[in-house]
Amino acid sequence: MRTAMSSSATTGLRMRWIKRLMLRGSRDFATRAAYEEFLTKLFSQLNSGRTERFRQEVKVLKALPPTRMDSCTKLVVRVGPSSTIRVKHQSILGTQPSGG
């Protein structure tokens, strides 16, 4: 899902970049600095609508915890005869890798 979202965002950015180049009338730039200035203006215009929302979010953000939290909990469980496992008082039916 993340790849699809990233791809979509990249495609949208690329289309806006191409449109701005067409409006400019040329893809050629005299210097690298001129191209960087073009990109800086493009990104500023694209982000202008998000700036206020970003400022609002920053005001309510809290500090990160001093240590990173685990993203998952690893459990050692037994697989029953019907390919079931019990995790936190719930039976789960499915295929599990063999414990080799």
The backbone torsions φ and ψ at residue 45, rounded to the nearest 5 degrees and listed phi first, read -65, -40
Angle formed by the axes of helices 32-47 and 2-24, to 10°? 120
- pTM higher than 0.85, yes or no? no
Those residues with Cβ within 8 angstroms of residue 82's Cβ, 6 or more apart along the chain or in another chain: 93
Q: Has residue 3 got a pLDDT over 80?
A: no
Query: 91: which strand partners?
Result: 86
Q: Please tell me the distance from the alpha carbon of residue 8 to that of residue 78, in angstroms, as a whole number.
A: 42
pLDDT value, residue 46: 85
Residue boundaries of the structural domains of the chain? 2-60
Query: 90: which strand partners?
Result: 87
The string of pLDDT tens digits covering residues 17-43 is: 899 999 999 999 999 999 999 999 998
